[in-house]
Amino acid sequence: MPEMPEVETVVRGLRRVILNQTIANIHLNAPKIDADNPRGWLNRLKGQTVVAIRRRGKNILIDLTDRYTLWVHLRMTGQFHYVPRNHSRDKHDLMEFSLLGNGHVLRFRDYRRFGRVRLRHTDEIMQEEGLADLGPEPLEISAGEFVHLCRKSSRMIKPALLDQSFIAGLGNIYTDEMLFAAGVHPRRLTDRISRKKLVAMHGAMQAMLKRSITMMGTTVDTYTGVNGRTGRFQKYLRVYGRDGEPCPNCGTMIRREKVGSRSAHFCPKCQRLW
């Protein structure tokens, strides 16, 4: 699933190509998306102009005139592609937005069809379930706030970081990498991690996310930006997806184990449980 850097890359790409553009028409090839929206929602989209594009956690919010917002979650394989109008459609293109006088279209493609596209009132959208319950943004939380967040509960750190109500935008890739960088075992309890380790983890998180954004994110499966290009940060992953390979620090074999309901990649020597 695209994580915060990938979603932020998509948001920045969308701003470059559709901000201030007007939707002329919509082609829909997704009964599930249609059923998830109010009756007549496609007609409401026609003639709307994109006035702002923002991100909250892994959610993309495309604000339109008349106080409507398109709320998009890419889920596992969702993608946006900005292509010339005569570019042939793929069978996985679920939505196509024709742009007025532009010569291009914006397509929402989703191989596994788990992605969601919903139209809601802008003034009410942040009260929607899935947005209202999100935790702080990882690039906005201070080191002190991060320490306090971890100390006020007692749970395994890896599942905590994946909980979007705890902190928004992180997934398997960046949690594994930040835990490795700070030398913290994924099963360590949040209130048993030293302040020094938590501060190191916070610093690694913010540095890593910023660097990944500059590289258009991490592509380990289907993720691409709006321009169709893949990310480049996967070249710098140190533990994620490297189970059975030697640790880059000590040479011990990287392990992959289930922690909670999700997998975790870590070095058992550099990231001791006790």
Is residue 96 part of the annotated active site? The answer reads no
First to last CA, the chain: 31
Is residue 58 part of the annotated active site? The answer reads yes
d(CA 154, CA 207): 26
Residue from 73, 96, 112 nearest 221 by CA: 112
Which residues, 6 or more positions from 159, have their beta carbon under 8 angstroms from its beta carbon? 259, 260, 261, 262
d(CA 261, CA 106): 35
d(CA 52, CA 39): 24
Collapse the DSSP code of 29 into the 3-class scheme (helix H, G, I; strand E, B; otherwise coil) and give the result. Answer: coil
Is residue 158 part of the annotated active site? The answer reads no
Is residue 56 part of the annotated active site? The answer reads no
Structure tokens at 80: 């946006």
Structure tokens at 204: 């690694």
User: Which of 55, 58, 120, 197 is an active site residue?
Assistant: 58
Residues belonging to the active site = 2-3, 58, 262
